Amino acid sequence: MSAKWSIFAPIFVPMMYMAGGFGPAMTQLFYRIGDSATNCFTPVMPYLWISLKDAQDKYDPNVKVGTFVSNLFLIGMILLVVWILFLIGWLMLGLPIGPA
């Protein structure tokens, strides 16, 4: 996933710096939080299809991609909330983000 960040970083880092003075470390943190929450149900994730086949073999042979992804969407949104709460707690403790 670092290849995706190397494409987006030249856009996101200056944009976030101009928008609110967020440094590169905070910008990457925002990106990683959003990216990790959606990786579990994106169709381009190769393990989605392996997990779907495993769910069909073990639990329900009639489960299709839409049903499987809609169930994973809830997990992704819960993960997003947990990551945001963790970030808020980290900032409230005054812990540093990045090398600065």
Residues 41-92 have pLDDT tens digits of 887 888 888 999 999 999 999 999 999 989 889 999 999 999 999 999 999 9
Query: Would you say residue 1 has pLDDT above 70?
Result: no
Please state the pTM of the whole predicted model: 0.77
Q: Which residues contact 23 (CB under 8 A, 6 or more apart)?
A: 17, 98, 100
Euclidean distance between CA atoms 73 and 38, whole angstroms: 8
Which residues does 100 contact at the CB level (< 8 Å), separation at least 6?
A: 23, 25
In the block, residue with structure tokens 């600065």: 100
> Is 95's pLDDT higher than 70?
yes
